[in-house]
Amino acid sequence: MRYLTVISVLIALGMMAAGCSQVIPPGPKAVVIGVMPFNEQYILGEMTALLLEKGGYQTEIRSGMNNAALYEAVKSGQVDMYIDYTSSVYYQLPNRVPVDRWAPDEVYSIVEKGLAGDGILLAGRAGFRNDNVIVVPSAWAAQRNVSKISDLAPYAKDMVFGSDLVFHAAEEDGLPHVEKVYNLSFKEVRSMDPALTFIALQSGKVDAIVAYSTDSRISLFNLTPLDDDLYAMPPYHAILLVNGERAKDEKLITTLSPLIDGIDSATMRDLNSRFDVDKEDPKLIARDYLVSRGLITM
């Protein structure tokens, strides 16, 4: 955590005129960055802080809240900014426009308008999405020229699918919706703890699983995420949300511009791997990445 606070101390000077005192104005308020408690959030929070500090801002990273709490905190001004995900925000909008096909640009537009109504600036996309994705072994996909979900149509009837309990049952945006949109049905669906799905796929107990698109194990286990070409599942673009008052600071928004469209999903998986597998400190990971892009110096 980073919290730099300037404390102004009034020192009585013996040479000062009698009865005269000077009030020193407080230093600038630290920019509060909200972070959810998982890998990429820690890394992105540190990136945000490092960029702001380079721009001359004091920062405080506040971690541990979920996206619903962070949304309310940014709305009220208790937190100045955080990274959320388009469909996570979509589900929090009170008067959201219903969708059947989750076209990413349409969802982004709905979310942008909804945030504006709550006085929050959607400053842009980070570049990657952390969607639910169907993944298969890369060797299997290459042999059959499978790169998108619609390519599974000839094979699904013979495949065992491993799913967590939530995705398995979600009618609007989970497996039932995928099977409906793509007009396919798996031979068998096995519901399991999310921690076991990758193990089951590696051992051959299932043929495909649902995962998060920035999960470092996709690269680690040489798996292929399949494109959702008919938009059956919600898009979770990582997006930067800024409190309306802070958004008036043009310098601050410009300082954060390198975060916009700067990180693709493969890069985020690699950064997450350093956190998950190599157990590196998120600040070090963030610093190395920004240095590699020439955005800060060591």
Instruction: Clarify whether residues 154 and 272 are in a common domain.
Output: no
What's the confidence (pLDDT) of residue 94? 84
Q: Is residue 68 part of a domain?
A: yes
What's the confidence (pLDDT) of residue 95? 83
Q: Is residue 23 part of a domain?
A: no
CB 178 within 8 A of CB 149: yes
Burial of 26 (0-12, 13-18, 19+ CB in 10 A): exposed
Instruction: Clarify whether residues 138 and 282 are in a common domain.
Output: no
CB 180 within 8 A of CB 100: no
Instruction: Clarify whether residues 243 and 114 are in a common domain.
Output: yes
Whichever domain contains 114, its CATH number is 3.40.190.10
Among candidate residues 203, 225, 247, the one where a domain is terminated: 225
Among candidate residues 204, 225, 246, the one where a domain is terminated: 225
Q: Is residue 22 part of a domain?
A: no
pTM of the model: 0.86
Q: What is the pLDDT of residues 93-141, one digit of tens each?
A: 988 888 889 999 999 999 999 999 999 999 999 999 999 999 999 999 9
Give the Cα-Cα-Cα angle 233, 238, 244 (nearest 5 degrees): 125
Instruction: Clarify whether residues 35 and 126 are in a common domain.
Output: yes
Instruction: Clarify whether residues 151 and 139 are in a common domain.
Output: yes
Range of the domain at 75: 31-130+235-292
- DSSP per-residue letters across 131-147: -EEEEEEHHHHHHHT--
Q: What is the pLDDT of residues 140-164, one digit of tens each?
A: 999 999 999 999 999 999 999 999 9
Q: Is residue 15 part of a domain?
A: no
Cα gap 75→18, rounded to integer Å: 47
Cα gap 190→178, rounded to integer Å: 16
